[in-house]
Structure 1
Amino acid sequence: MHIALLYVDAGKGHITPARALSDALQRLGHTTVVENLFATVGSPMINWISKYNWRLQLHFPKMETKVNAKSDTAANAKRVRYVTTHSHAIKDFKIWFDQVKPDLIVVTHFLAASMIQPLVDVLELKVPVFEYAADVVFTPNLGINKNLDRLYICTEIGKELAIRAGQPEHTIRICPFPLKTELMQSKPLSKQEARRKLGLKDCFTVLLNLGGEGIGTADFLEEVAERNLDWQVITVGELSGSTKVHYKLFKEKHPDFPLYTPGFVKNIQDYICACDVQAGKAGANALMESLSLQRPFLISSLLYSAWPTTIFFERRKVGWVENDVSKQVDILQAYSSNQSEQQKMQQAFKDLPLVFDSDAFAKQIIADAAEVMKLKFGIAVNPS
């Protein structure tokens, strides 16, 4: 099969699973194309606005939760569908489709429901449209559409909320999380092995995650330094301009604080293995990669699309949600000194009903595509 994987260029949360699934599908012998969703409908300006708006909102997370909660409505979903199917998007999408000729379209963004599936219906194209809910615990209203052939989501709370929002249960599949290829093919190290490999101290270690955009402050670092805790903190990835300023000032103020900023790394799995806890913005990829390696996550900035993570953590006991910096350090300080709580956390990971396997997800997609194409279009496809 020839499969198109469409993403939206707003952070790494959507392109990362698209690439992971592309790699996995190719390992199964299929061909793929990974494409920006807005490029398929000839809308580079909307793509720029979307990307800029997302980065702006990350600087103001409280604003992000309020703005997106108010705008994520069924009425707005209808507006997006109307504009999409009454604009140049029809012509541009048909041109793209005729050039690429995909047998299946998989979209790692909720606009699958509000843009791509409606276009496929209007053009009467015989191609299944599958949506992957990249936020893993939630599908926005703009991602709900009874005509989707499949809606994939990794968690039971995500499925429950999608059904409550109006997505037919028969279209929903709980799926494995699509791990990046480098994580799929790596062997996890022990904490001590990872720390030796990376040249780190053997002490309580926090991996501070600022998301794919590297946007954050030094407030957490200041709180740890003020308490004189025997911890080390690692921040990976490229820092935004404002974040670099915050970190520079912190290092000048606390030159002896064990802060490591290795920049962009290709071996993120080693850094996760080296840490005791990840903390930071609730990006789905960072969260799930942490859970796959059995490291708890403290969410310090709960964005709108991640709000059900609080429910998930209450059920599964594999992390915390806390916006107040002082209370964040309270939580980790208590955890770092309590062996009993650490043992309970490890047991919670053993009981976690999640699968982390992009190859298994790719096989699920191909099997579902064969089923949909036979039942909906009368086209027989060999899933192997």
Structure 2
Amino acid sequence: MTRTTILLLSVSAGTGHTRAAEALRAQAGGAGDVEVIHLDLLNFVSPLLRLVYADLYCTLTKVMPTVWRALYHLTDNAQPGGLGHRMRRWAERANSRQLLYEIEQLAPDLIVCTHFLPAELLSHLLASGAVRCPVWVQVTDFDLHRMWVHEHMAGYFAPNDEVAFRMRGYGIAADAIHVTGIPIMPAFSIPAQRDKLARELGLQPEVSTIILMGAGNGFGNVAELARHILCTWDHVQLIVLGGRDQQTLAELHALAASHPGRLKPIGYTKEIERLMACADMIVTKPGGLITSESLAMGLPMILIAPIPGQEEHNANYLLEQGVALQASNLATLTYRIGNLLAHPEKLAGMRNRALPLGRPGAAGQVLDTVFTHLEKQQCRLHIQSSSSLL
């Protein structure tokens, strides 16, 4: 039996790119003839490049969002062959030689990139012949920044028809574009039972339940936001994610003790789908992955504190589709939550619009596409080899 090796390349600038790659790995995990390797590109570059793409990105988006917005639009509108982009690409290649060595050692049959940086580096390596296997690109937001588009890619996976349209506008061949959605974990394809899961969390299934994921400028931290919601409505339950922040989790547990049975603090989890199954709405930043997961679960969203650029575009898409509302400050958020709680028919309408947009099978579609392409490619190579013997 021939074993197929898939290399997934992500960048840990934010969590969405990594989670999309992990979803693909989980989807392929059951196949005995497939080996899936997921690498964070930042582990194979110089400290300087890691500083620029991780630390600087996080600093700009959190501390200087206006600067990040300007940089996002500047790079999106700049000519790909311009001096600035050429110098940047040269610097990226000079600081990521270890990646080429790692790829040579792994000798994958195909590569899927869930961030634009590995796609950009591999485009140059494909052109030079240093990399010969097919390379695919998975866009992880409902937006298309120009830096995602590169020559020599085997194909692109788009989150929706609009992004696919914009890909064609950048000159990508229509038959190389596949509208699959954004890969999320296979568990989102499995029907969940609200009553059972809510009781396991110590919550009452019949009580209105809100998931709270993060806060941001104008909202305080997640514990402060949870306290405000609990004190404003006495008939609401909260599931609040504190991640790996031990101080935040301690604050949430203290808050839960003062509101018995109404708050469930959650640390880092890989089972967000179980929490979503218990909820009526989610308050979250509009990242590509969390919003894709919410759509798959038919979960109405209230969007807060979007990162300028890609998350703003995500928010615009979701608002246009009627599956989300947006709150710019605490007063607006209070109104949005109260209005939805008072009008359950609005919540039902948002849920009904969200479900058809959800693509819980995105990871499976991506893998089916790359495997089919690989089989055709291998078949062509076999035919060419056979004909050369005649």
When normalised by structure 1's length, the TM-score is 0.82
Following superposition, the deviation at residue 300 of structure 1 comes to: 0.5
Aligned twin of 2:276: 272
Contact 1:146 1:166 in 2 (8 A): no
Q: Which residue of 2 aligns with 1:83?
A: 91
Count of residues in Structure 1 that have an aligned counterpart in Structure 2: 369
**Equivalent of residue 284 in structure 1, options 280, 285, 288:** 288
Q: What are the within-5 Å matches in structure 2 for residues 206-217 of structure 1?
A: 206-210=210-214, 216-217=221-222
- Separation (CA, whole Å) in 2 of partners of 1:316 and 1:265: 29
1:116-131 pair list within 5 angstroms:
116-131=122-137
Equivalent residue for 1:299, pick from 303, 328, 334: 303
Within a 5 Å distance, the mapping from 1:87-166 to structure 2 comes to 87=94, 89=96, 91-135=97-141, 137-165=142-170
Amino acid at match of 1:47: R
Q: 1:230 aligns with which of 209, 217, 235?
A: 235
8 Å contact kept, 1:112–1:130: no
State the shift of 1:249 in Å.
11
Q: Is the 8 A contact 1:113 1:142 kept in 2?
A: no
Amino acid corresponding to residue 13 of structure 1 in structure 2 = G
How far, CA to CA, are the matches of 1:273 and 1:308 in structure 2? 26
User: Which residue of structure 2 aligns with residue 179 of structure 1?
Assistant: 184
Aligned to 1:35: 39
Decide whether aligned partners of structure 1 residues 144 and 193 sit closer, same or farther in structure 2, where only a CA change above 3 A counts: same
Q: Secondary structure at the match of 2:6?
A: strand
Pairwise CA RMSD: 3.3
Structure 2: distance between partners of 1:66 and 1:217:
28
What is the CA distance between 1:350 and its match in structure 2? 4.4
The aligned amino acid for 1:260 is: K
Letter in 2 for 1:82: W
Aligned residues of 1:18 and 1:34 also touching (Cα < 8 A): yes
Structure 1 stretch displaced more, 317-326 or 162-171: 162-171
DSSP 3-state at the match of 2:12: coil
Change (3 A) 1:349 1:249: closer
Match of 2:388 in 1: none
From the superposition, tell whether residues 67 and 216 of structure 1 become closer, same or farther in structure 2 (CA, over 3 Å): farther
Amino acid at match of 2:42: F
Question: How much does 1:62 deviate?
Answer: 3.5
Aligned to 1:260, what secondary structure does the other structure show? Answer: strand
> What corresponds to 1:361 in structure 2?
366
Q: Say if 1:78 and 1:209 are closer, same or farther in 2 by CA, change over 3 A.
A: farther
Report the 3-state secondary structure (helix = DSSP H, G, I; strand = E; otherwise coil) of the residue aligned with 1:35: strand
CA 1:340/1:187 → structure 2, altered by over 3 Å: closer, same or farther? closer
More displaced stretch, 201-210 vs 349-358? 349-358
> TM-score scaled to structure 2, two decimals?
0.81
Q: Please report how far the alpha carbon of residue 298 of structure 1 lies from its aligned counterpart in structure 2 after TM superposition.
A: 1.5
CA contact (8 A) 1:110 1:140 kept: no
- CA separation of 1:88 and 1:146: change in aligned 2, threshold 3 A: closer
2-side partners of 1:66 and 1:314: how far apart? 23
- Paired residues of 1:110 and 1:139 also in contact (CA < 8 A): no
What one-letter code is carried by the residue in structure 1 that aligns with 2:272?
A: I
Aligned counterpart for 2:259 among listed residues 236, 256, 261? 256
Q: Residues 206 and 338 (structure 1 numbering): CA distance in 2 closer, same or farther, change over 3 Å?
A: same
Change (3 A) 1:350 1:147: same
Q: Secondary structure at the match of 1:232?
A: strand
Deviation digits for residues 330-355 of structure 1 (CA, Å, limit 9, x no counterpart): 12211112132133223313443745
Residues 379 and 140 (structure 1 numbering): CA distance in 2 closer, same or farther, change over 3 Å? farther
Q: Determine the structure 2 residue equivalent to 1:322.
A: 327
1:352–1:323 Cα change, 3 Å: same
State the alpha-carbon separation in 2 of the partners of residues 5 and 31 from structure 1.
11
Give the conservation status (yes or no) of the 8 Å contact 2:11–2:17.
yes
Q: Could you tell me whether the CA contact under 8 Å between 1:157 and 1:312 is conserved in 2?
A: no
Q: Percent identity among equivalent residues? A: 16
- SS of corresponding position for 2:357: coil
Contact residue 210 and residue 216 of structure 1 kept, 8 A: yes
The 1:36/1:353 distance shift into structure 2, 3 A limit, reads: closer
SS of 1:179's partner is coil
Q: Within the alignment, does 1:197 sit opposite 2:200 as a pair?
A: yes
Give unmatched runs, 5+ long, in structure 1.
none
Residue of 38, 58, 78 corresponding to 1:55:
58
Question: Distance in 1 between the 2:159 and 2:381 partners?
Answer: 25
Consecutive unaligned residues of structure 2, counting only runs of 5 or more, are 386-390
CA deviation vs aligned residue, 1:82-124 (integer Å, no higher than 9, x gap): 3344x264x5344222211111111111113322222222244
Contact 2:210 2:238 in 1 (8 A): yes
Q: Which amino acid aligns with 1:104?
A: L
Write the distance in 1 (CA, Å) between the matches of 2:53 and 2:315: 27
